[in-house]
Structure 1
Amino acid sequence: MRVVTSGSAYLDIDAYACCIAYAELLNCQGVAARAVSGAPLNASIPQRLKVNGDSLDDYLPTAMDEFVLVDVSDYHHFDPLVVLDRVVEVIDHHPGYEQYWAQRLGSAADIQPIGAAATQVFQRWDKADLLPKISQQSAALLATAILDNTLNFTGQMTTAQDVQAYAVLARLASLSADWPEQYFIECQAAVGSDIAAALAADLKQMKPESGLPQIFAQMTVWDADILLQRHRSTINRWMAEQGDDWLLNLISIRDRKSCFLAPAEVSQAKLDHLLPLDWQAGLAVRKPSMLRKELLKLGLCAGHQGAPNTIVQ
């Protein structure tokens, strides 16, 4: 059995879509596979895209099973069920572990700078000439994961491959032209319904070497201004309970900006070292929007990160 899984902290839409769609592809190719994870789903996966409720398959691997890792390559963050010596394939778009996996797996390690890991899974379906057999559900998941991870094609890591993959998958999934807006509005509704849970489901503890605030949360919504108007006090209170040095990157798709919320001067100073920002009452706005992994890349370029295990998935 090939167990297709991802990280330990949570599953976002990219990891979730990749697990499901790649397991489906392997089964189409005659390789028994299951999409498995014990991690909670975060607010990037709206209810109508969930396959089996609020979790993936809870299958317990046997000593004979092999593992495929998608949307993660840092072995410090693998799902606890993974046995490192039995990992046979890695599909990821986060930097930091390319050499490690190339030495272990050779060409079975596909780690490339691209907007979404979902695009890499799409490429496997395409290369196998099996796209006509992909389920509408998997096509919709992969397409939506591309939207999310490229910030509706405005993110700096967006590639032509991402754009092409979305066009094909959206057609196969019969997605409407306004699906991007529908999707991000649904994500915002999910975030607003339980702001604390949404923050907890995309919260990372950063290592000191990263040069970033110690506690880093990120959420993508349609209209960040509305969310902040309604929930800023709750966000401030909940994040402060996690520690003094914190940052929320609230990405607003509608107006293509990142709202950085960081009340502490020590947290603001870390961002100021990477970007020119104007802080007003603990809030700074950056256009165009940026992802956490893009800030980490800036940290790498600035010489903040000296070891690969500082990379966050």
Structure 2
Amino acid sequence: MKIITSGASYLDIDAYACCIAYAELLNLQGIPARAVSSAKPNASVSKTVLDWGRAFQTHEPSLTDEFILVDVSDYHHFDPLVVLDQVVEVIDHHPGYENYWAKKLGSAADIRPIGAAATQVFQRWQTSDLLAKISEQSAALLATAILDNTLNFTSQMTTAADIDAYAELAFRAKLATDWPEKYFLECQASIESDLANALAADLKRLKPENNLPQVFAQMTVWDADALLKKHRPAISQWMAEQGDDWMLNVISIRDGKSCFLAEPVSSQRKLNHLLTLDWHAGMADHAPSILRKELLKLGQHTNL
């Protein structure tokens, strides 16, 4: 059995979509596969997405199972059910572990800069000649993951492959033209209804060598200014409780920018080494919007 899974702490829409859609493809190819996860979906897996009805399966791993990891390649953060020596394929777009997996798996490690891992899974559907058989739900999941991970195609990580994949998948999923706005508004409503869980669900604790604040939370919403105006005190209090070196990146789809909230001055200084920012009372905007994985890449190439 091939077990398709992702990270340990949370499932964003990219990981969620990739697990389900890739398991569907492998089963169509006659390869027994299951999408399995110990982690819970975060706010990017909206109510409408959940209502599409494509759920993960339960499975007790056996000694003969093989694992395929999607949207993650850092083995420190794999789902706890993963047995490292039984990993046979990795599909990811986060930098840092390319060499490790290239040595271990060769061409079965597909780790490259692209907007969404969902695009990589779509490309597997394309080359399989089974794209005509993809379910509407899997097409919709992959399309939505591309929307989210490319920040509605405004991220600097967006490639032509992401744009083409979305067009094909949205057509096959019969998604409405206003789906992007509806989706991001729904994500924002979910975040605002439970801020603490939304922050915890996309928070990473980074090592000092990353040259970024060690507590780094991220969320994507339709209107970041409105969210921060309404909820900043609660957000600041919660983040400060996580440590004394922290930041939040609120990505605003409506106006294509990142709103950084980082009240510790030392945290602001770290960001100033990577970007030109104008801080006002612990906040700074950056346009175009920038993802945490992009900042991590910048940090890896910066000596402080």
TM-score with structure 1 setting the length: 0.95
Q: Provide the residue aligned with 1:120 in structure 2.
A: 120
Query: 8 Å contact 1:91–1:117 — kept in the other structure?
Result: yes
Q: Provide the residue aligned with 2:68 in structure 1.
A: 68
Q: Provide the residue aligned with 2:283 in structure 1.
A: 283
Partners of 2:54 and 2:231 lie apart in 1 by 24
Partners of 1:284 and 1:14 lie apart in 2 by 27
CA deviation map 1:243-268 (0-9, x unaligned): 11110000000000100000110110
Q: Provide the residue aligned with 1:30 in structure 2.
A: 30
- Which runs of 5 or more residues in structure 1 are unaligned? 305-313
Secondary structure of 2:119's counterpart equals helix
Q: Provide the residue aligned with 1:131 in structure 2.
A: 131
Partners of 2:206 and 2:169 lie apart in 1 by 35
* Alignment CA distance shift 1:51-1:36 (3 Å): farther
Q: Structure 2 counterpart of 1:101, which letter?
A: W
CA deviation map 1:42-63 (0-9, x unaligned): 0000012126989732322111
1:229 shift after superposition: 1.5
Secondary structure of 1:294's counterpart equals helix
Query: 8 Å contact 2:19–2:70 — kept in the other structure?
Result: yes
CA deviation map 1:204-257 (0-9, x unaligned): 001011110010000000000111111111101111111111100000000001
RMSD between aligned residues: 1.3
Partners of 1:56 and 1:98 lie apart in 2 by 28
Q: Provide the residue aligned with 2:100 in structure 1.
A: 100
Secondary structure of 1:219's counterpart equals strand
Q: Provide the residue aligned with 1:83 in structure 2.
A: 83
Q: Provide the residue aligned with 2:239 in structure 1.
A: 239
* Alignment CA distance shift 1:55-1:264 (3 Å): farther
Percent pairwise identity: 70
- Which runs of 5 or more residues in structure 2 are unaligned? none
Q: Structure 1 counterpart of 2:81, which letter?
A: L
Secondary structure of 2:184's counterpart equals helix
Q: Structure 2 counterpart of 1:114, which letter?
A: I
Q: Provide the residue aligned with 2:195 in structure 1.
A: 195
* Alignment CA distance shift 1:60-1:303 (3 Å): farther
Partners of 2:54 and 2:26 lie apart in 1 by 23
Partners of 1:168 and 1:53 lie apart in 2 by 21
* Alignment CA distance shift 1:58-1:52 (3 Å): farther
Q: Structure 1 counterpart of 2:145, which letter?
A: A
Partners of 1:236 and 1:60 lie apart in 2 by 40
Q: Provide the residue aligned with 1:307 in structure 2.
A: none
Partners of 2:276 and 2:144 lie apart in 1 by 31
1:70 shift after superposition: 0.4
Q: Structure 1 counterpart of 2:283, which letter?
A: L
Q: Structure 1 counterpart of 2:178, which letter?
A: D
Secondary structure of 2:241's counterpart equals helix
